Amino acid sequence: MTVYNDVLKAVIGLMNESKPYSTIYVGSDVPRNGISVLPNPASPNAFLDKNAVVEWIIALNGKNENQMIVFETLNMIHLSLTRRKKYPSSINFQIYDIDTIGSPRLIGREGNDQWIYGSLLRIKFYMRGD
């Protein structure tokens, strides 16, 4: 696995600690009454020893037939991630901060009565080289 997969799995694990109403999927297609994360390109700043400091923005999106459930759930996930004092680490990475770039906001409503909300998180982590 790549470092990015490991970091994303760790962040999804933290999100699941909030006990959201749905499994958290990876991808752009948010399922009915579901939640998904969509990673964007990362911005690593590499050092001579091949270690790097990385800022990675991911979209956190949700759909639900109840507007307040999706809004409150995404807000709860944001709060739980951004207020932590300890983050996961492994042999190849160490997350040192997660912050909100864009708080949960209404994107629209589908014809099947699914409210769609979206938000952005920035994951800051240290990637260890060889």
What pLDDT sits at residue 71? 97
Question: In this predicted model, what pLDDT tens digit does every residue of 35-93 receive, in sequence order?
Answer: 999 999 887 777 777 788 999 999 999 999 999 999 999 999 999 999 999 999 999 99
The per-residue pLDDT for 49 is 72
Q: What is the pLDDT of residue 116?
A: 97
| Residue 64, pLDDT score | 97
Over the stretch 85-126, which tens digit does the pLDDT of each residue have?
Answer: 999 999 999 999 999 999 999 999 998 899 999 999 999 999
pLDDT at 15 over 90: yes
Mean pLDDT of 15-20: 94
Task: Give the list of residues 6+ apart from residue 5 with CB closer than 8 angstroms, or none.
Answer: none
pLDDT of 80: 97
Query: Residue 62 is inside which H or E element, if any?
Result: strand 52-64
pLDDT value of position 130: 63
